Amino acid sequence: KKQLQDEMLRRVDAENRLQTLKEELEFQKNIYSEELRETKRRHET
C-alpha cells in the first residue's frame, strides 16, 4: 500500500511539473510572438 501511495505521489508530482513547464513554454511563446510583432512594426515604419 505504501508503495502505491509513493507511486501516486510521484505521478502527481510529475504531472504538476509537466503542467508548469507547459505554462512556462506558452508564456515564452507569447513573449516571442510579441517581440516579433514589435520588430516587424519597427521595420515597417
pLDDT for 1-45, tens place per residue?
Answer: 899 999 999 999 999 999 999 999 999 999 999 999 999 999 987
Considering its fold, how many domains does the chain have in total? 1
Q: What is the pLDDT of residue 29?
A: 98
Three-state secondary structure call for residue 18: helix
Write out the residue range of the structural domain in which residue 34 sits: 1-45
Instruction: Give the separation between CA 18 and CA 30, rounded to whole angstroms.
Output: 18
Taking the C-alpha atoms of residue 7 and residue 2, their distance in angstroms, rounded to an integer, is 9
Determine the pLDDT at residue 27.
99
Helices (H), 1-45: 2-44
pLDDT at 28: 99
pTM for this model (two decimals)? 0.71
